[in-house]
């Protein structure tokens, strides 16, 4: 077994775990085996100055994540603002490339993650996935081999709200027919997601099987192997 920091919090009244919500990237699937194109590094592709582009991108990203601005429209706005022109073909190519990269990530499902998901299903634990991302990032999800095991999704670009806002967790919990204190949230810790899950009343754990374990003590259990999730679920 890997190391587990901290103790799993038992729900009020000793409720057992009836549902598990997972983060998507670097929890259910990983891009660590490749070199995905970062949206913040597209300046040269668009013929723009890097530092100025990054500032413009950073200002728009929050609206893309909650579906208020499309990825393509954001790149068009930046190009128009900085260069006075928009290369629509290049921008569409960038969007298609992002989707291709996500398809590739979903096609490389890890055997241990697959075994974990299948075992949770066998134990009648209801599953959901929450992710902060662009529409391009989650568009290929239905084609992932893991997807049929999940009862619901809560993608920020569809929900209009993103982690760590407690509302996105609570929407998923309601869809699963569970209660927050009987629901576990598993994520790698990005976007302050574990604190958000805890604020929503869920039991939060950090997934460290695709990312390095933290060198510092965390207020949440830190799981280095997938089977540790099963141990915590069984313990309630």
Nearest CA among 75, 67, 69 for reference residue 91? 75
Residue 138 has pLDDT above 60, yes or no: yes
Mean pLDDT value across residues 62-89 = 98
SS3 for 65?
Answer: helix
CA distance 82 to 4: 49
> Which contacts qualify for 140-148: CB closer than 8 Å, 24 or more apart?
140/99, 140/102, 140/103, 140/106, 141/24, 141/106, 143/103, 143/106, 144/29, 144/106, 144/107, 144/109, 145/106, 145/109, 145/114, 146/28, 146/29, 146/109, 146/113, 146/114, 146/117
144 versus 236: which is more confidently predicted?
A: 144
Mean pLDDT over the full length of the chain: 93
pLDDT at 33: 82
pTM score of the predicted model: 0.91
User: Of the given ranges (58-67, 96-105, 117-126, 206-215), which has the lowest mean pLDDT?
Assistant: 206-215
pLDDT at 212: 86
Predicted confidence band at 236 (pLDDT cuts at 50, 70, 90)?
A: confident
Tell me the percentage of the chain whose pLDDT exceeds 90: 88
Residue 120 has pLDDT above 60, yes or no: yes
pLDDT at 1: 36
CATH numbers and ranges of domains, the chain: 12-31+109-235 (3.40.50.1000), 39-105 (no CATH)
User: Of the given ranges (12-16, 118-122, 187-191), which has the lowest mean pLDDT?
Assistant: 12-16
SS3 content of the chain, % helix, strand, coil (to 5): 50, 10, 40
User: Of the given ranges (12-16, 38-42, 143-147, 204-208), which has the lowest mean pLDDT?
Assistant: 12-16
DSSP state of 28: T
Tokens, residue 227: 């089977």
pLDDT at 214: 84
Residue 2 has pLDDT above 80, yes or no: no
pLDDT at 140: 96
Predicted confidence band at 109 (pLDDT cuts at 50, 70, 90)?
A: very high
The torsion region of residue 188 among left (phi > 0), alpha (psi -120 to 50) and beta comes to alpha
pLDDT at 15: 73
């Amino acid at each position: 077994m890997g190391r587990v920091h901290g103790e799993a919090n038992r729900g009020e009244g000793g409720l057992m775990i009836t549902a598990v919500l997972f983060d998507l990237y670097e929890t259910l699937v990983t891009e660590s085996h490749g070199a995905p194109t970062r949206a913040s590094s597209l300046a040269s592709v668009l013929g723009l100055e890097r530092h100025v582009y990054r500032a413009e991108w950073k200002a728009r990203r929050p609206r893309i994540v909650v579906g208020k601005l499309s990825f393509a429209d954001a790149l068009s706005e930046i190009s128009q603002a900085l260069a006075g022109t928009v290369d629509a073909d290049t921008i569409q190519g960038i969007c298609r490339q992002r989707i291709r990269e996500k398809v590739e990530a979903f096609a490389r499902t890890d055997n241990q993650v697959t075994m974990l998901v299948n075992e949770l299903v066998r134990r009648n634990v209801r599953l959901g996935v929450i992710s902060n991302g662009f529409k391009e990032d989650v568009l290929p999800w239905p084609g992932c081999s893991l997807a049929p095991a999940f009862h619901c999704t809560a993608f920020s670009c569809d929900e209009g709200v993103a982690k760590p806002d407690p509302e996105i967790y609570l929407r998923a919990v309601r869809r699963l027919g569970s209660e927050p204190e009987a629901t576990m949230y598993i994520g790698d810790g990005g976007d302050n997601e574990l604190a958000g899950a805890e604020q929503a009343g869920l039991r939060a754990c950090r997934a460290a099987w695709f990312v390095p374990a933290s060198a510092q003590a965390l207020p949440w259990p830190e799981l280095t192997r997938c089977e540790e999730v099963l141990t915590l679920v069984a313990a309630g």
